[in-house]
Amino acid sequence: MGRIVGIGVDVVDLARFERALDRTPRLRERLFSDAEGAGLPVRSLAGRFAAKEAFIKALGAADGLSWHDMQVVTDEAGNPDLMVSGRAAEIVAERGIASLHVSMSHDAGVAIAFVVAES
């Protein structure tokens, strides 16, 4: 079993996030890849955004990261996972992170995500 390298959590207000998406039409494509954000409801997008923010907190660094360097994907059972590339993958390698654990939920007007980075 590895050791915990970092932990991150983030909460997103669904109404506020929806207003931001409405105000800035290009925000969706800036935050999410086509495959990642296609056809998802606001609550799911907010959860994915929270997961990206929680991932950055678990890394302890955001220098040079692009929102597209981290993608929230789901497996066949619907369980979330993080795929990293670019600068995010470099930081993961530099910190000796072997696995990332992601949990997301939404209820009562908020979305929350929790990320644990393990060596």
| Per annotation, catalytic residue among 52, 57, 68, 101 | 57
CA-derived radius of gyration, the chain: 14
| Per annotation, catalytic residue among 52, 68, 101, 106 | 106
For the question of residue 57 being annotated catalytic, the response is: yes
Alpha-carbon distance 24 to 16, whole Å?
A: 12
Alpha-carbon distance 58 to 47, whole Å?
A: 16
Identity at 95, one-letter amino acid code: R
Nearest alpha carbon to residue 57 among 110, 6, 107, 4:
6
Q: How many CB atoms lie within 10 A of CB 57?
A: 18
- Active site amino acids: 57, 106
